[in-house]
Amino acid sequence: MSEMKTEKMALADKLYRTKYEPDAAHPHIVVDQAICANCKEKVCLVVCPAEVYKADPNDPNKVTVSHENCLECGTCRKACPFDGIKWLYPEGGKGVKYRFG
């Protein structure tokens, strides 16, 4: 029986396979910091496969957003039990663009 060797890819290497065209004038993710301040679980910090959400190092009650990592799966908006994340698809021509190969 042959042993299959699997290598773990770093998140940055996986995200390299995608291109993101940001739309600074119309962000597709908006976090309601007032809701986040009262959230103890902060599910968004662990549910996102692209690690878009991080605890603010200066204020652990706040959540920072890295739009450029978003894979547009929408998991975050479903996982937040308090509807603290407003998530919309980016405007046409903006957002994630997947590369093959």
CA-wise closest residue to 80 among 97, 63, 67: 63
Mean pLDDT of 57-72: 89
CA–CA distance, 51 with 71 (Å, rounded to integer): 10
Copy the structure tokens of residue 100. 């093959």
Residue pLDDT, tens place only, 26-54: 888 999 999 999 999 999 999 998 899 99
Beta-bridged to residue 54, according to DSSP, are 64
CA–CA distance, 20 with 23 (Å, rounded to integer): 9
Asked whether residue 1 carries a pLDDT value surpassing 70, the answer given is no
Q: 26-90 maps to which CATH number?
A: 3.30.70.20
Query: What percent of the chain has a predicted confidence (pLDDT) above 90?
Result: 43
List the domain boundaries for the chain.
26-90
Taking a C-beta distance cutoff of 8 angstroms, is the pair 48, 75 a contact? Answer: yes
